[in-house]
A and B are shown apart, each in its own frame.
Chain A
Amino acid sequence: MPKLTIEDLKKIKEKTLQETALREGGHKIRITVHMGTCGIAAGAREVMDALLQELAESQRTDIKVMASGCMGMCSSEPNVTVEVEGQDPVVYQHMNPLKMRQVFRRHVLMGEVQTDFALARVKQVN
């Protein structure tokens, strides 16, 4: 391996930061896939897979994906909640991999809420 220069050092830093971004905090967007037993039965795993593939392609490090339990609206599963910093969370219903990809690209990356799939916009109560 050739000797490192300061540029190499910075490159390694950038690259590794991307890999280890989960540990650093400071995420601006949180996407929650509701993975209760009902959600998984309705296809939440496939939705999660699609989401993680999209995330990898986007190379964004400020987005975190969480699994969480059932929301209590089992008939509308799979549910996905998208929370963008400074905006009200949006809950999507009856998700599938295709819808998930669309929500990721349009809502998460471009900021257009996909009203057709949305179940509700949740008002933040402080």
Chain B
Amino acid sequence: MKALRTELLICGGTACNASGSTKVRDALEVEIHKAGLQDEVRVIVTGCNGFCAQGPLLLVKPDNILYQKLTPDDVPELVLEHMLKGRPVKRLMYTAPESAEVIPYSENIPFFSKQLLWVLRNRGILDPERIDEYIARDGYLAAHKALVEMKPEEIVEEVKKSGLRGRGGAGFPTGLKWEFASRSPGEIKYVLCNADEGDPGAFMDRSVLEADPHAVLEGMIIAGKAIGAHQGYIYCRAEYPLALRRLDIAINQAREYGLLGKDILGSGFDFDIEVYQGAGAFVCGEETALMQSIEGKRGMPRPRPPFPAQRGLWNRPSVLNNVETLANIPQIILKGGDWYASVGTQGSKGTKVFALSGAVNNIGLVEVPMGTTLKEIIYEIGGGIRNNRKFKAVQLGGPSGGCVPGHLLDTPTDYEAIAKVGAIMGSGGMIVMDEGTCMVDMARFFLDFCQEESCGKCTPCREGTRRMLQILEKITHGEGEMSDLKELKELAYFIKDSALCGLGQTAPNPVLSTLQYFEDEYEEHILERHCKAGVCTSLFKARCINACPLGQDVPGYISLVAEGRYEEAISLIYQTNPLPGVCGRVCTHPCMEVCMRAQTDEALAIPKIKRFASDMARLRRLKPRLVRREDGKEKVAIIGGGPAGLSAAFYLALMGYKPHIYEELPELGGMLRYGIPPYRLPRDVLDEEIRFILSLGVEVHTNCRIGREISFKELLAQYPAVFVGIGAHKSQKMGVLGEDHPRVLGGAEFLRNYQLGNVPDVGKKVAVIGGGNVAIDVARTVRRMGADVTILYRRERKDMPAYEEEVEDALAEGIQLRTLVAPKRIMESGKRLVIELDQCELGEFDSSGRRKPVPIEGCVVTEEYDTIFAAVGQTSDIEGLGGLLTKRGVIPADKFTLETNLEGVFAGGDVVLGPARVVDALAHGKKAAVQIDKYLSKKKNREPVGISEVKIEVTMKVPEEVTKQPREEMPKLAPEERVKGFKEVELGYDEGRAKTECLRCLRCDVKL
């Protein structure tokens, strides 16, 4: 006989089964035999390992190496290399998403290393179909202790001491529940196990039953002794076939050993368990409905009291506990209540199992000590948000629970703390949502679920949730009214107070909590008929149109360009965008982020097509067709001649108003001219587009600052309406000692001075501090002046807010980038500047979901530069606008109307949003024009003029066949040519490339 040297523990949970673990196991057996290793290496099928998204999983013992995402094709290599030759196979191991580092040992994978396994202590390491393996890990010792050595009161006392609370969701103290039932008079009592897990996204109970069924049986035996019951029922839904099978095997094995039945372990105590299969109704998870169902009746709740502890199943005193609660019991009895209570918070003891799912990297089952924060679970165990997207909210407790937004992620997992933020611990469903989730639609989804699952017995739940659902559907279809929100809240509170059971009482929770934290999203759906997440499809024609703040008809003009109809293309673009050539070059294109083509290969080069259309219009002298009205008569003052002001002027002029722009600097364009260097935005393009806007009838006062050349008060007296559209031109301070030195320059000020012709001598060696677009623009400008440039950024490159393509261009031009360095102090040394930099490492996650840079103790580097630029953010200079309310450097204008605290004064762009994208400024300018029109028309008692659109027919045809075809490349000036001057870097598509690119559009706007 030979001893085993290796055991291969393959996960046989439902998730791994679904991803093919059975086939992998068969392949393993075959290959092990082929290699003649059958006496040395053994394959064991275990229950759920927890790391479900990486399945099928294989844990190699005693090495502790974890293999993931195995296929039968991987198995021959795995057996030959690792089992026979002792060379673990790297390519099949887990790779950390953030560092791309291979982690062989399961204990080093953050997903596992941060967990504390009590309930799941046997998961993935024992064969759940062999009772002996459970016994080997102290199984049924607790039952023996409870049955032989303890009195019922002592058991209850121990459980009370442990502080264990019901893990099904309500969190009622388990010991207390047992005490009530034990004191209830009666010969016949029952222990019930609730395994009717039904929350969307929750699979804790299933996993426990699949991985360690005996723990639940043992917990029930102990409960039986505590309350004086001799019969138990497990109510498990029929949709859990594997859990049911393993329960069945476990019960039979326990009976065979006499661990169930008469005189268990010679204690004289009798107890047996039966499994009752539920049909999958959500309401049967409610205790009274569950008991009705076991009795063979229709599963409907009844009013309480009497509570089940007095009159439960068949009117006998009963205790009903959740799977996870019962699985905790054996260890509490074995190790004592004090041991259990040593972990957790004041009111929540022990551990809790969560089913982590949704938009996180590591989906699976996690068990953590109570008190662990949501942030730790989502970012450290869950590995953060998938695809580098932004966190939006996490839904706790499924359809009965609520959502927790980003700023509350430090909330600990504690029954009371979670309830305080408007959610519930629930049974442990934790669904993480990113920015692609619409909160209104999420609330609608859960309400739809509860509505469907309502048993219909009581009116508030049956009719009330239906009415709420109707309202939500109305809102998601773009037919909502503001009064709907009030009605939703009223109904919600009414249903909470009057529904018969937990299902109805908690059904409104997702609506209430989304209203609490995301009311603006509801308002956006109602007031603007807009769903920014791009989920509510009735509200838009295509995702790119929806993502664009201007709502440009992207597929429309792409189709026109493809057909060579350039005059119509430029006309269509001008309907929604007064600066096409500018946007075609500098827009940060939110449209491309959501382009459906990316699912096939790459997103369409949308701005580049727009630029081509504008290039063609210039070349062929095509003027856009526009509808000009004469209706508006009034003069409107516009403060600031940047994109927001120009956009407002354009639309006001089209409606017949007389916009007058007041600009402090010598020329119009704002940040477009004084912030963006000409190699990205040639001035002839900018000048030409501004000239066109002015040609519609716009008066311009340059070199005229409000508060200097003319007072704000005077302006208000002269104009019936004013739009404030000032940009963010003032560099923010870094908060670093020595930054006031004359050779430490603000990035935005430098770019402006450069444009004005006041070019400072920056020397030969220059540092730029910051990671945004301004930092890159400064670096590339200084590089063109012949200096060596280094960008210093405190986080990692992937965290830089600058547009990725700009960073690449900068690096190609020979600019250095140093990350994870933070300025500490700047000093003068002779003719140069000395900067002390802290070397940083990545610390905890901050509220933006990025790891915080933390200075490494004692790691300070000193470097010398001739000039240092601070480009860490900008604000607006709002001095001189007396009477206008400001808050932290911005004007808090109304989100929907852009009204300020002064009547007739509207504000938009950077001065409201903080430094924003060009496209946001343009959108605000247009919105301001519409609002000013409404305001002035109302004063004159006339209908608003409104913006009229030219009718342009677009061919509605989808591509017949879609094959992989990457994005057309943009021809660029060679890097060595670029740094010689300020010539435009991107040369633009020619007609052939443009049309080829256009044909990649999938035409999501065409409704078939």
Contacts and interface: CB of A to CB of B under 8 A. Distances in A.
A32 to B, nearest CB: 8
A3 interface: yes
A118 interface: no
A40 to B, nearest CB: 7
Contacts of A4: 257-259, 265
B338 interface: no
B373 interface: no
Interface in B114-146: 125-126, 132-133, 135-136, 138, 140-141, 144
Given A16-B136, A20-B136, A23-B61, A9 B265 contact: yes
A56 B265 contact: no
Given A23-B62, A66-B86, A52 B5 contact: yes
Given A52-B40, A64-B5, A67-B86, A25 B62 contact: yes
B132 A16 contact: yes
Nearest to A18: B136
B86 A5 contact: no
B977 interface: no
B136 A12 contact: yes
Contacts of A64: 5, 62
Interface in A1-40: 1-6, 9, 12-13, 15-17, 19-20, 22-23, 25, 27, 32-37, 40
A3 B258 CA distance: 5
Nearest to A2: B258
Interface string B239-267: 00000000000000000111100010110
A4 B133 CA distance: 16
A19 B83 CA distance: 19
A126 interface: no
B783 to A, nearest CB: 49
Interface in A30-69: 32-37, 40, 48-49, 52-53, 55-57, 64-69
A114 B84 CA distance: 26
Contacts of B125: 23
A99 to B, nearest CB: 18
Contacts of A2: 258
B85 A40 contact: yes
A32 B5 CA distance: 11
B655 to A, nearest CB: 77
B694 to A, nearest CB: 76
Contacts of A49: 2
B136 A65 contact: no
Nearest to A11: B135
Nearest to B107: A25
Given A1-B257, A6-B144, A56 B84 contact: no
A66 B63 contact: yes
Contacts of B39: 52
A38 to B, nearest CB: 10
B133 A56 contact: no
B138 A13 contact: yes
Given A3-B266, A22-B7, A67 B2 contact: no
A69 B85 contact: yes
Contacts of B5: 22, 48, 52, 55, 64-67
A32 B6 CA distance: 12
Contacts of B63: 66
Contacts of A35: 84-86
Contact of B40 (A5, A9, A23, A48): A48
A9 B135 contact: yes
B135 A12 contact: yes
A40 B257 CA distance: 46
Interface string B175-208: 0000000000000000000000000000000000
B85 A20 contact: no
B141 A9 contact: yes
Contacts of B61: 22-23
A105 B40 CA distance: 20
A37 B80 CA distance: 11
A2 B265 CA distance: 11
B516 to A, nearest CB: 47
Nearest to B5: A65
A19 B137 CA distance: 12
A46 B492 CA distance: 74
B403 interface: no
A57 B3 CA distance: 8
Contacts of A40: 84-85
A58 to B, nearest CB: 8
Nearest to B259: A4
Q: Is the interface of B mostly helix, strand, loop or mixed?
A: loop
Nearest to A30: B62
A23 B63 CA distance: 9
B36 to A, nearest CB: 8
Contacts of A34: 86
Interface string B54-89: 000000011110000000000000000001111100
Nearest to B83: A67
A20 B133 contact: yes
Nearest to B258: A3
A104 B7 CA distance: 22
Contact of A23 (B9, B86, B256): B9
Contacts of A37: 85
A33 B85 CA distance: 9
A22 B43 CA distance: 12
B115 to A, nearest CB: 17
Contacts of B258: 1-4
A25 B256 CA distance: 31
Contact of A67 (B4, B9, B85): B85
A97 B124 CA distance: 35
A36 B2 contact: no
A20 B6 CA distance: 10
A26 B751 CA distance: 65
B100 interface: no
A98 B682 CA distance: 85
B131 to A, nearest CB: 8
B425 to A, nearest CB: 32
Contacts of A48: 5, 40
Contacts of B86: 32-36, 66-69
B85 A9 contact: no
Nearest to B6: A22
A36 B86 CA distance: 8
Interface in B499-519: none
Nearest to A65: B5
Contacts of A19: 4, 136
Interface string B2-44: 1111110100000000000000000000000000000110000
Nearest to B39: A52
Contacts of B126: 20, 23
A22 to B, nearest CB: 5
A20 B137 CA distance: 10
Contacts of B263: 3
A27 B126 CA distance: 19
Contacts of B140: 9
A45 B256 CA distance: 42
Contacts of B87: 68-69
A16 B140 CA distance: 14
Contact of A5 (B84, B135, B265): B265
A23 B5 CA distance: 11
Interface of B: 1-7, 9, 39-40, 61-64, 83-87, 125-126, 132-133, 135-136, 138, 140-141, 144, 148, 256-259, 263, 265-266
6 A-B pairs with the lowest CB-CB distances in the bound complex, closest first: A3-B258, A67-B86, A16-B136, A68-B86, A55-B3, A52-B2
Given A4-B259, A37-B85, A52-B4, 18 more contacts: A1-B257, A3-B265, A4-B258, A9-B140, A9-B144, A20-B126, A22-B5, A22-B6, A25-B62, A52-B2, A57-B1, A64-B62, A65-B3, A66-B5, A66-B62, A66-B63, A67-B5, A67-B83
11 contacts: A3-B266, A6-B266, A17-B136, A22-B62, A34-B86, A36-B85, A52-B2, A52-B39, A57-B1, A67-B84, A68-B87
